[in-house]
């Protein structure tokens, strides 16, 4: 937050910091919501463009006060919801495969392989949760938001968000124990 | 049972965004030398988006108009310098996404005007299938985001005068002279009521700045006020400069 306060006089520098700090979690949350690499790229790009446009209208003091992660996830969430509504009558997307194979060149090969192996399995299990549970788990643990932030984004009481998260985790635990692990 | 290992695994689902994703969000900018001094050029992954004289407020104007962050580019995009020098832009891509369909069509039609030639506003209007929208064509060109590269300076008034330009009439005249356009000849013909030039050897009628019109020997030149008059006299419109078949109605 301090970094942003220092640079908020220049919206472009502010944006670069915002992007560098949050691109991973925003993209990852998008990937778990859309389950398609190309859609996640679209959604992430659109989220940051919207964030930039919104921030351009804010005074520097207001930009400095934004809680960036929750704010970005709110934008992402609204875009995702609007798309999901539009796409509701289209067939469901094919399960994610190609994206997981794209190795991050910054990682060592063994580490990446191991991570992708667990990641792929877990990501597939995530898709078996109900929408509400998956969305709550992704926002809470992939986007790393607090329960109250998750509740605010989902537009539900905190208790409800909490129960979506814990039921989602319980289901995931059952699924991981059910033969996969 | 503890959720610890599960939460760790969930946290590991965080992957970095692809490196090139920023190019779908932000635009890059450079300054380059151009025919009217130092230019500010901004471009995206779709192509060149904005060309203006380098000035203090140009980045602010870009933000207002495009709503994208601007990052400084290490070097100009390929082909930009030579396109500005030669006026030939065949390899250059443009990002016209922020424009209305009409304005984008007007600009694409304008791209077809070769260096050294000019066309009237009505020619563009006809090319975009809106023959009556001559004034709207002028407005669309007046806010051309990529002047010089999409040569709106090559669109002039039917009466032979150069007309308005985004950077002023004087610069328009200067650019056209620098491109070796026979502007003065076209203007003096227009003052005599001649808007089309035909060759009695080829039987073809052109705009006076058409490269084919300029090759006609003086003894074989015929001037016409309208294309219809030329056609009545047995000439056919040039396929290169496509002079308007004046109101067929």
Query: Mind listing the domains of chain B with CATH numbers?
Result: 24-86 (3.30.160.70), 99-181 (1.10.10.10), 183-249 (3.40.10.10)
What is the per-residue pLDDT for B8? 83
Domains of chain A: 1-102 (1.10.1740.10), 110-181 (1.10.10.10)
CA distance A41 to chain B (A): 7
What is the per-residue pLDDT for B12? 80
**pTM (predicted TM-score):** 0.81
Question: In this predicted model, which residue has the larger pLDDT, B123 or A96?
Answer: B123
Give the one of A24, A49, A173 whose C-beta lies nearest to B25's C-beta: A49
CA distance A96 to chain B (A): 13
Give the one of A11, A19, A24 whose C-beta lies nearest to B15's C-beta: A24
B112-138 per-position pLDDT tens digit: 999 999 999 999 999 999 999 999 999
Q: Which among A7, A6, A86 has a CA at the least distance from the CA of A43?
A: A86
Within a 13 Å sphere around the CA of A150, how many CA atoms are in the beta-carbon half?
26
Q: Which among B107, B114, B133, B111 has a CA at the least distance from the CA of B122?
A: B133
Sites in chain B below the pLDDT cut of 70:
1-3, 244-249
CB B130 within 8 A of CB B100: no
Q: What percent of chain A has pLDDT over 90?
A: 46
What is the per-residue pLDDT for B69? 92
Tell me the ipTM for this assembly: 0.78
What is the per-residue pLDDT for B2? 65
pLDDT at A20 over 90: yes
Tokens coding B114: 């070769």
């Amino acid at each position: 937050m301090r970094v942003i306060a220092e640079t908020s006089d220049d919206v472009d520098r502010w944006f670069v910091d915002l992007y560098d700090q949050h691109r991973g979690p925003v993209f990852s949350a998008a990937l778990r919501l859309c389950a398609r690499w190309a859609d996640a790229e679209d959604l992430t790009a659109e989220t940051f463009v919207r964030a930039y446009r919104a921030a351009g209208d804010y005074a520097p003091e207001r930009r400095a006060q934004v809680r960036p992660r929750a704010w970005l996830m709110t934008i992402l969430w609204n875009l995702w919801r609007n798309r999901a509504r539009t796409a509701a009558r289209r067939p469901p997307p094919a399960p994610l495969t190609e994206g997981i194979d794209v190795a991050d060149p910054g990682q060592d090969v063994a580490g990446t392989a191991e991570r992708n192996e667990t990641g792929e399995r877990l990501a597939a299990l995530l898709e078996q949760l109900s929408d509400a549970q998956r969305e709550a788990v992704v926002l809470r643990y992939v986007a790393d938001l607090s329960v109250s932030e998750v509740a605010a984004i989902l537009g539900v009481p905190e208790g409800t968000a909490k129960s979506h998260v814990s039921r989602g985790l319980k289901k995931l635990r059952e699924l991981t124990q059910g033969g996969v692990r | 049972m503890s959720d610890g290992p599960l939460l760790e695994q969930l946290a590991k689902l965080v992957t970095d965004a692809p490196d090139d994703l920023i190019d779908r969000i932000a635009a890059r900018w450079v300054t380059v030398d151009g025919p009217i001094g130092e230019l500010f050029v901004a471009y995206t992954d779709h192509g060149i988006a904005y060309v203006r004289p380098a000035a203090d407020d140009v980045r602010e104007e870009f933000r207002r108009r495009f709503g994208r962050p601007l990052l400084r580019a290490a070097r100009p995009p390929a082909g930009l310098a030579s396109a500005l020098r030669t006026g030939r832009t065949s390899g250059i891509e443009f990002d016209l996404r922020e424009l209305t369909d009409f304005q984008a069509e007007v600009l694409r039609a304008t791209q077809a005007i070769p260096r050294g030639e000019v066309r009237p506003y009505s020619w563009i209007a006809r090319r975009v299938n809106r023959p009556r929208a001559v004034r709207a064509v002028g407005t669309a060109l007046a806010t051309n985001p990529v002047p010089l590269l999409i040569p709106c300076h090559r669109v002039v008034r039917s009466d032979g005068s150069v007309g308005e330009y985004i950077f002023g009439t004087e610069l328009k005249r200067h650019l056209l002279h620098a491109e070796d356009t026979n502007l003065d000849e076209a203007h003096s013909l227009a003052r005599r009521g001649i808007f089309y030039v035909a060759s009695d050897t080829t039987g073809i009628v052109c705009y006076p700045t058409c490269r084919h019109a300029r090759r006609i020997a003086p003894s074989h030149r015929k001037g016409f006020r309208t294309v219809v008059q030329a056609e009545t006299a047995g000439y056919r419109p040039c396929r290169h400069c496509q002079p308007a078949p004046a109101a067929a109605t």
